[in-house]
Structure 1
């Protein structure tokens, strides 16, 4: 008899379950909510690891007082922790989608292109800390576009200006009806449309999209995969009837299809939180308070306030759980004076045994267990998950809970994970400051930085961030400082492993998570 997997949990829900557990910790939600409630929108952004790259005074001088007032109002309504909760993510680790520029709001102006409030994510090579940046985009060719960002223009596939309930604290209640699956239109669904797609909401969301573009009715597209788009037509008998959609009767050329309005991912896909609740993979208490208030009004998290995140359970404090069989007895290993120690051994005996180990002798089972916990603890996956999502404080809390604040890390996977996280934060700092504009592998040939000045130089202009040879920064082959266009380096044994895997994959950037295909 064939096996049936009707009750098997989809892989994308398991990824979202980990994202909800680690990506937006309770401490971030608490701090950001308190500062936002006090009117400190910049402090709320700092608590949610969102860098603010705009100056309200400069905006007022450039665009006028009315525009600055609209922008300031949106910034005060912005819940950066809620924005992080709903940001697009990639598989398999569930981190922020790299190299993305996402529009939050559009403001009319006298020019042809509306000014947009955007949030940006760094490329994968500089995503340590999972930080985001908030700025204004005033159109192509403006001086505010960061030259070192891989995709500085707003992505029409990922836009939240039509979904303010995903970042505006005053409109988060709209999530209840904007995330309902709705009734699917009659007829067979388009190819590849599965349960992860909110097909029943496409007509209403497409109507909002077309109205924003000044079109009452017409055709639009839905991106189902990297090379698969379905072309649909929004129709209705008259203005008093709810619109519906149907496949376009006539095939259009590829160029015309690319020019049609594209339904954003936030409208095309089902809300993962509702799916997680339905599958029993998460409880309302574990949701963001604003999301819980919209999806489960009877739950504990019913609204914003200084203590909104207190209902989300914290990890239990460690006790004396370590027990080791040592010399025919069961001994305990526990924290004493902020150090993990074998409590059933005399301190003098432990000092003698440690000296014996230093001279090459065998170690006590208790000492071997303590050494193993320092090098490769059982909670190492939780530490790596928190570090991967930028929660350094949470990772250190787990380490201190296991080893104590006075512990000295020893060589092993735990120390490697912490050192790697620290080194990657340096890469993010270099990227955010504009010192490294291209991928480091491009420095092996003619690649230069965005300014075309011949590498990343220090204050004296004589060395700066040196290359592998240590002879003159990230310079081109000739080192003469000519402004040459960066090129894609050829794959060889000198190419970093991460870049080699990215170039070998046909799907770039990383895909596989349901919300980001």
Structure 2
């Protein structure tokens, strides 16, 4: 049994993480005492006020101290991802950054993950209490995943020791044959080897958790790698102690209720997650270990704090962002010969066809005619319907992924240099205006509108940029800007839905009355 997570998916996730230049800028802001600026760089919206009258001066002081040492870019690195093969964050869940004790009454830092896997990948930071979390899916984020003072704890959490980290080898084994380490590291190796042999129960027992009363189905999600129990007992005890509880439950990897006094487990139905509200994450082998073992990631690619914990002697340099290069021209078979097609000067250029011929082709297409050769490529590029040559399809994919992960500077650089065409569409028929909810729309929206992208551009089923923003938890200020630019709040899809109607059903997540009443 191989222990690896989905390596292609995680390779994309890591490639699309916050650029190291942004991580460095956030660290500089944090060192200067500007934790809010560091949060903004990590694509997190902050809504925090300090009320000593509600929580007491001592609790507020402890909260402020945690915020000064909070690395949201590090937390992003550790956040759960969507399980459908995407590279976006797991939606509709919150990470609670609990204090070491008294969390049942103290103010809690809550980081809300996005509403939708296809929506903006921004986080939301608020202060809350355990009582306010009654009907919400949340988990306790260990301090090594967000506190810069304790980030070195990732080494022990992943089964390491003072001597070395237990790395996976390309054949799926955790350690090289000549490994010589501490007793703790050998214990971790035993857990790994039992999982490889298919002995899930034995692996959990070796990790100090009695699962004898649990069916093995509760230890592993269907069609997923086995859940790795390394560090689960320690994390469960820490979460239980922080909240003054005697039980915690697990989220995602395994479905268990853990009693911390004797560390025994019972199966927990996923629909009963509110019954044991204090939850911890479980999952497969840490993807970074698996990627490094497979040669798909280098130590220098890791988040700097994770790299320092695992490879303290490794000095990895990273510099300025690599701008999008001009895509190489693509050859298209057209009218019996090969023509060049490329994005340059801010548009898809068809070499071998003059402007008069292209105008005639557009007129014929508007009358219902079909296109072939270069014109079929042009139609697919501007509508999303049809096949694109691989190089152009890769460019569409790269632009979409970069936008989805909030890389505004990269997008604006490409638009300015003319190597990104503002009229391009993806396979859904989404224009860049549909995707603008993912980036800093205040900078990008005027550029796209000036380039002639319609404010009510329709995708293949009639959804407009305003509709997608409402449906996927986009920024309300973006919706206001779209409405001010003339977006139609009653523009119907092929299914008869429209933005104002959808806004009324999304009030539980955002106050969208201004759209519903538009």
| TM-score normalised over the length of structure 1 | 0.61
Is residue 228 of structure 2 the alignment partner of residue 198 of structure 1?
Answer: yes
The Cα shift of 1:167 comes to 1.0
Give the 5 Å matches for 1:92-111. Answer: 92=84, 93-106=86-99
Give the 5 Å matches for 1:86-97. Answer: 86-92=78-84, 93-97=86-90
C-alpha distance after superposition, 1:442-494 (max 9, x if no partner): 969x979579xxx965xxxxxx434xxxxx66xxxxxxxxxxxxxxxxxxxxx
The Cα shift of 1:50 comes to 0.7
The Cα shift of 1:168 comes to 1.5
The Cα shift of 1:381 comes to 2.5
Counterparts of 1:108 and 1:10 in 2: how far apart (Å)? 35
Higher Rg: 1
Give the 5 Å matches for 1:216-365. Answer: 221-222=249-250, 228-229=255-256, 231=258, 235=262, 245=263, 264-265=280-281, 270-301=285-316, 309-310=318-319, 314=322, 317-318=325-326, 320-324=328-332, 332-333=340-341, 337=345, 340-341=348-349, 350-358=354-362, 360=364
Contact 2:46 2:125 in 1 (8 A): yes
Cα gap change, 1:365 to 1:288, in 2 (>3 Å) = same
Contact 2:342 2:348 in 1 (8 A): yes
Number of residue equivalences:
406
Q: Which residue of 2 aligns with 1:158?
A: 139
Contact 1:36 1:76 in 2 (8 A): yes
Is residue 41 of structure 2 the alignment partner of residue 47 of structure 1?
Answer: yes
Counterparts of 2:478 and 2:111 in 1: how far apart (Å)? 14
Please point out which of 16, 26, 36 is paired with 1:22.
16
Is residue 474 of structure 2 the alignment partner of residue 428 of structure 1?
Answer: yes
Give the 5 Å matches for 1:436-447. Answer: none
The Cα shift of 1:188 comes to 8.4
Q: Which residue of 1 aligns with 2:396?
A: 380
Contact 2:139 2:279 in 1 (8 A): no
Q: Which residue of 2 aligns with 1:176?
A: 155
Q: Which residue of 2 aligns with 1:37?
A: 31
The Cα shift of 1:66 comes to 4.0
C-alpha distance after superposition, 1:125-176 (max 9, x if no partner): 9x72212111111353xxxx6xxxxx67665x5111xx11101223211111
Counterparts of 2:434 and 2:16 in 1: how far apart (Å)? 19
Q: Which residue of 2 aligns with 1:487?
A: none
Cα gap change, 1:31 to 1:342, in 2 (>3 Å) = farther
Unaligned runs of 5+ in 2: 161-187, 192-202, 437-464, 481-496
Cα gap change, 1:432 to 1:205, in 2 (>3 Å) = farther
RMSD: 5.0
DSSP 3-state at the match of 1:168: coil
C-alpha distance after superposition, 1:358-413 (max 9, x if no partner): 55499996666566555553122233333444445545656777x536x4516774
Higher relative contact order (CA 8 A, sep 6+): 1
C-alpha distance after superposition, 1:316-356 (max 9, x if no partner): 6235443456677765555655555457x6xxx73343344
Give the 5 Å matches for 1:350-499. Answer: 350-358=354-362, 360=364, 373=381, 377-378=392-393, 379-391=395-407, 393-394=409-410, 404=419, 407=421, 409=423, 413=427, 416-422=430-436, 423=465, 424-425=468-469, 427-430=473-476, 464-466=514-516
DSSP 3-state at the match of 2:296: coil
Contact 1:118 1:154 in 2 (8 A): no
Please point out which of 113, 118, 128 is paired with 1:121.
113
Contact 2:55 2:106 in 1 (8 A): no
| TM-score normalised over the length of structure 2 | 0.61
Unaligned runs of 5+ in 1: 1-5, 146-150, 236-244, 302-307, 458-463, 467-471, 474-517
Counterparts of 1:252 and 1:89 in 2: how far apart (Å)? 22
Q: Which residue of 2 aligns with 1:73?
A: 65
Cα gap change, 1:298 to 1:399, in 2 (>3 Å) = farther
Cα gap change, 1:108 to 1:114, in 2 (>3 Å) = farther
Cα gap change, 1:39 to 1:152, in 2 (>3 Å) = farther
Please point out which of 77, 80, 97 is paired with 1:85.
77
